[in-house]
């Protein structure tokens, strides 16, 4: 049984300019004291075609973690635009929020991200070279894709990992795996509120 559950994630400062930091307000619950720290990461998917363009924006270690509910704001710098393929700079991509314990990832929350020009002229005639300072980032905060993994916590009896189990939240389908999220596209943007109970 998982010893840590994400209760809520709120995407802050959204939408925002491309070069603004990513900010997630994370609330999680621990069912018992943990022996080691939790490892949280924010990963920006630079291209749907290859993981080689993924950028780990930041990694933080949270601990010691006693039993109970906890909340913190995880902030990370924007991706290095020079490492993003030109053809993938504008449009839909993905940002991943992951958490691991003892070197094992046990939950991954994926959000679609739409990078678009706010200037109507640039929208109609996008430049060959992306102008990142003119791009706006909009995270689809109300529709996360959650994947959970069984890991070895502090109990030897849980030492065998199993394939990821997909999970549903509040009746919403979470049927896409993290690989599917990478290659999927979103046809619409969202300007709605960004708080979402993810699991």
> What's the pLDDT at 193?
30
83 SS3 class: helix
Choose among 97, 28, 103: nearest CA to 66: 28
Choose among 117, 124, 105: nearest CA to 164: 105
Global pTM value: 0.79
Q: Which CATH number is 136's domain given?
A: 2.60.40.1490
111 SS3 class: strand
CA dist., res. 145 & res. 159, Å (int)? 26
Confidence of residue 64 (pLDDT cuts 50, 70, 90): confident
CA dist., res. 146 & res. 180, Å (int)? 12
Average pLDDT over residues 193-199: 33
- 139-157 burial code (b ≥16 CB/10 A, e <16): bbbebbbbbbbbbbbeeee
Tell me which residue range forms the domain holding 175.
4-196
Half-sphere exposure of 18 (CA within 13 A, CB side): 21
Average pLDDT over residues 6-34: 97
Domain count, the chain: 1
> Model confidence over 83-135: pLDDT tens digits?
999 999 999 999 999 999 999 999 999 999 999 999 999 999 999 999 999 99
**pLDDT above 70 coverage of the chain, percent:** 77
Average pLDDT over residues 157-179: 40
């Amino acid at each position: 049984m998982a010893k840590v559950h994400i209760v809520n994630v709120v995407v802050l400062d959204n939408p925002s300019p491309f070069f603004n930091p990513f900010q997630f307000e994370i609330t999680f619950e621990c069912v018992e004291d943990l022996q080691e720290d939790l490892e949280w990461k924010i990963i920006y998917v630079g291209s749907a075609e290859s993981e080689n363009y993924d950028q780990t924006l930041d990694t933080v270690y949270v601990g010691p973690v006693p039993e109970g509910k906890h909340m913190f704001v995880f902030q990370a710098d924007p991706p290095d635009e020079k490492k993003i393929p030109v053809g993938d700079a504008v449009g839909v991509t993905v940002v991943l929020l992951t958490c691991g314990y003892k070197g094992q990832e046990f939950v991954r929350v994926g959000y679609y991200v739409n990078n678009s020009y706010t200037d109507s002229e640039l929208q109609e005639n996008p430049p060959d070279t992306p102008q990142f300072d003119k791009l706006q980032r909009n995270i689809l905060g109300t529709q996360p894709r959650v994947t959970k993994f069984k890991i070895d916590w502090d109990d030897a009896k849980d030492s065998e990992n199993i394939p990821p189990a997909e999970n549903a939240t509040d009746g919403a389908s979470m049927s896409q795996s993290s690989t599917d999220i990478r290659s999927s596209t979103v046809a619409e943007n969202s300007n709605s509120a960004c708080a979402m109970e993810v699991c």
